Amino acid sequence: MISIFILVFLLSLFVKSKKGKLNKKENDVSLIMTLIIVLLLSLLSGLRSSIGDTGYYLYSYKYIIPNTSEIISAKDWGYILMQRILLYFKFNSQMYLILIALITIFSIILTLKKYSVSFSTSLFIFICSGIYISTMNGMRQYLVASIVFAATTLIIKNKPILYIILIIILSTIHSSVLIMIPVYFIVKKRAWSKSIVVFTFIFLTIFVLFNSLFKYFSVVLSSTQYEGYVNTFGSEDYAGVNILRILVALVPVTLSFILRNKIKSTEWNIYDLCTNFSLLNFFMILLGSYNWIFARIAIYFDFYNLLLIPLLLWNIDKKNRMLLLFILMVCYVLFLREELQPYIYTSYYLKINEEFIGPLTRIVYD
């Protein structure tokens, strides 16, 4: 896995963002390298036999698909319908996993290429921050989140109707995405404007009074994908995120505030959008100190740090930028090392760590 990460990072150095003045040959090379990166990361993800709930996804696709008459009454009927269509076209469990990985990775990588001021930096953070590994766990939510991320252009071009229609469609796959409808109107505000400051004050009040307001949160959660977790609050098994993750989420928000008067408008004028998403990400991670379920909601916001961090770095003088970039890379590599420890990558088809493939997954391959 590490060798693939190194390879895709080296390939990313040949991928130019819109900021570069490219001739046709460079554009062709950039496109080819981008597609190779998408293919490598998609196959590595799609050919896995482990990590998180992969075994359940493989098993349920083959053995627990409801019949056609039960689809419409199901809560996430869009996802089940998608599975039924794939089964009709003779997709086996692994092919299904590869397709989901391809859609997810393609949506993320192409959006990074379109909007990042430094594609290689964004890709590096995508991998080393653990987001890539996380797409293999909570696969269904990451599928939806990646498509929403690819729809960033609808926010930038101010097309709320199309955006809301997309969200409603995606909610048939994972209902938690409905939170992105009110979020659309929040992130359109100017970063650090009075309305955002008021919103921040309201959130911090909610955070401080969370235990008193929990009954209202439980009502909201009961209408989402996470209704089964309402009774987990206070349980040690669902303890909140650690302080380190909260501090990591705070870093881009802090830098954005410090550099708010320095960042100049460009044709990728997404500073306000990414800052507001980063702020929402920090809020959710902070709420995650009560219960990790809030960190799952942050999945929809965390992608924008992949755009914000390079944007902030590229608005710092070159000497300090290189120093901060070096520190960032070292910290993220160390973080990735820790992040990978709980996981053992296995692949039946690639013959990697086959002895660690779980019994549920082996049933699928037998």
| pLDDT tens per residue, range 335-346 | 888 878 888 899
In this prediction, residues 206-230 reach a mean pLDDT of: 65
Under DSSP, is residue 122 helix (H, G, I), strand (E, B) or coil?
Answer: helix
- Structure-token match 């766990």, residue found: 137
Instruction: In whole angstroms, give the CA distance from residue 62 to residue 91.
Output: 10
Q: What angle do CA 250, 254, 260 make, to 5 degrees?
A: 145
Instruction: In whole angstroms, give the CA distance from residue 233 to residue 288.
Output: 11
pLDDT at 301 over 50: yes
* Element (DSSP H or E) covering residue 215: helix 210-222
**pLDDT at residue 359, as a whole number:** 86
Instruction: In whole angstroms, give the CA distance from residue 194 to residue 200.
Output: 10
Tokens for 150?
């690819």
Residue 227's pLDDT band (cuts 50, 70, 90)? low
Domain ranges of the chain: 1-72+85-135+346-366
Q: Give the residue among 59, 40, 64 at the shortest CA–CA distance from 49.
A: 59
Burial class from Cβ neighbours inside 10 Å (0-12, 13-18, 19+) for residue 208 reads exposed
pLDDT at 237 over 60: no
**pLDDT at residue 275, as a whole number:** 95
**pLDDT at residue 236, as a whole number:** 55
Q: Give the residue among 112, 150, 152 at the shortest CA–CA distance from 129.
A: 112
Contact call for residues 302 and 296 (beta carbons, < 8 A): no
Residue 24's pLDDT band (cuts 50, 70, 90)? very low
| pLDDT tens per residue, range 343-357 | 889 999 999 998 888
Instruction: In whole angstroms, give the CA distance from residue 29 to residue 356.
Output: 39
Q: What is the amino acid identity at position 28?
A: D
Instruction: In whole angstroms, give the CA distance from residue 189 to residue 194.
Output: 9
First-last CA distance in the chain? 25
- Enter the pTM of the model: 0.90
In this prediction, residues 253-264 reach a mean pLDDT of: 86
Q: How many helices (H) and strands (E) does the chain have?
A: 21, 0
